[in-house]
Structure 1
Amino acid sequence: VMRGASAVSTYVGLPEQEAFDIEYWLLEEAKLQRMPKPKSLAGRVALVTGGAGGIGAAVAGKYLSEGACVMLADINEDSLAATAAGLVQRYGKDMVRTVAMNVTDEAAVAAAYGEVAVEFGGLDILVSNAGIASSAPVEETSLELWNRNMDILSTGYFLVSREAFKLLRAQDMGGAVVFVASKNGLAASPNAAAYCTAKASEIHLARCLALEGAEAGIRVNVVNPDAVLRGSKIWEGEWLEQRASTYKTDKEGLEEMYRNRSMLKRSVFPEDIAEAAYFLASDLSAKSTGNILNVDAGNKEAFTR
């Protein structure tokens, strides 16, 4: 090689570092092949409303485990701080932020997106999950109760989605919006007209947003849970007693009733909803928008048509 090089020009040996790199490349290649693959949501930023509740916390935990940074938003500051503390302990303080937010307050919602932009540099995923529940026969449903359901479950979802669209369009990088709705948005339940109607509104809003967001690469999909009793804050108040009364059982028997009512005879937990929300936010569903994913252990009344 040296003689051949000298016949053409002057032989110059490789620099020591380059020779080292070539000699040890196979070793480096083997190391690279053994490195873990990047996590599926690495580098992405998610805002999760209702973040202090059971479903919101489970979704946040799943996203964090897949590498996302998460901003938790909730109206309950004490629960928000407690939830965030647990997640920080598991995933580190650099990955988790919180913002106190009432989804019915237009200014507060806009300010929350400002916080996301400042803390994490932008947004990739919105999970609209803030919720309440109420149960009453229609003739006993006050206008105040009706409006409260609509304010949080319909107007609230509109406000957080509108601000998400503003930011996602400005970034021009696409994005994913996931609504956590309910089986009741598709299948009516007795003594829950306000709740069911508001949930149906969420689902149709998601369809409208899917139409508007497609050209910008913004996907909008819905998770429809049913009877997530354990860990879900809406089941900690009167809703549990009211639904038990509606179905003529006691609080202890309500979960069993829901389980036996399902086609698969299984209970649904916050972690199940988190898996669905992860699927709809990740590239696994990159070609899906305007869809409803039921996570209800099977309920033929809620089959989409």
Structure 2
Amino acid sequence: IEETTVKQWNLNMDILGKGYFLMSREAFRTWKRQGMGGSLIYVASKNSVYAGKGAAAYSAAKAAELHMARCLAEEGGAFGIRVNSVMPDAVIQGSGIWDKGWKEERARGYGIKPDELDEFYRQRTTLKVNVFPENIAEAISFLAGPRASRTTGASITVDGGVAAAFMR
């Protein structure tokens, strides 16, 4: 936290907090006007419920995002608006976030080399697997589809089983 700048803090809150707020507000306005309901799916993070070392700004913003989804699930129910979340972790392959110094920063926080991060993340999961973008997409597709038509306010973890982030 001591090295986190106000600019970094605000960027996290603006994108992950305000961004979801603005998108949700407009979706609610549109769907209420149309009277057809709708489905919002937030891409939260394992860090929404897990205290990530060296990631206070990100984790706090993701926690706010997850709680907003739960609040909006309650607000939207009477209008047929469902709000759910997926909580991925360590999606390294296919993610641009790792190209911006994040990989080096996370590796340093764990006391390992950047090229060891992928294996580190795999080994800390209960299932000993990597998580890929398509795994997240499958969870989103389920929540958006008819099989989840009776589901709102839910959070699905897609993290290979990070025990520290199991929902309590």
Among 77, 100, 106, which residue is 1:214 paired with? 77
Deviations 1:244-266 (A, max 9, x none): 11111112110100000000000
Q: How many residues align?
A: 168
Larger RCO (CA within 8 A; separation ≥ 6): 2
Report deviation, 1:236. Answer: 1.6
Are residues 1:139 and 2:2 paired? yes
1:293 partner SS: strand
Q: Which runs of 5+ in 1 are unaligned?
A: 1-137
Q: CA deviation at 1:302?
A: 1.1
Shift of 1:281: 0.3
What's the CA shift string for 1:236-286, capped at 9, x where partnerless?
211111001111111211010000000000000000000000000001101
Instruction: Specify the code of the residue in structure 1 equivalent to 2:122.
Output: R
Query: TM-score, length-normalised on structure 1?
Result: 0.55
Q: Which of the residues 258, 264, 268 maps onto 2:121? A: 258
Matched, 1:169 2:54: no
Deviations 1:84-108 (A, max 9, x none): xxxxxxxxxxxxxxxxxxxxxxxxx
Within a 5 Å distance, the mapping from 1:128-277 to structure 2 comes to: 138-277=1-140
SS at match of 2:86: strand
TM-score scaled to structure 2, two decimals? 0.98
Runs (4+) of structure 1 exceeding 6 A deviation are none
Structure 2, unpaired ranges of 5+: none
* Identical counterparts, % of pairs: 54
Deviations along 1:205-256, whole A, 9 cap, x unmatched? 0001000000001000000000000001112211111001111111211010
Q: Residue 278 of structure 1: which of 127, 141, 153 is its match?
A: 141
Equivalent-residue separation in structure 2 for 1:181 and 1:233 (angstroms): 17
Aligned-residue Cα RMSD (Å) equals 0.6
Deviations 1:113-153 (A, max 9, x none): xxxxxxxxxxxxxxxxxxxxxxxxx0111111111110001
Cα distance, 1:187 vs structure 2: 0.3
Structure with the greater alpha carbon radius of gyration: 1
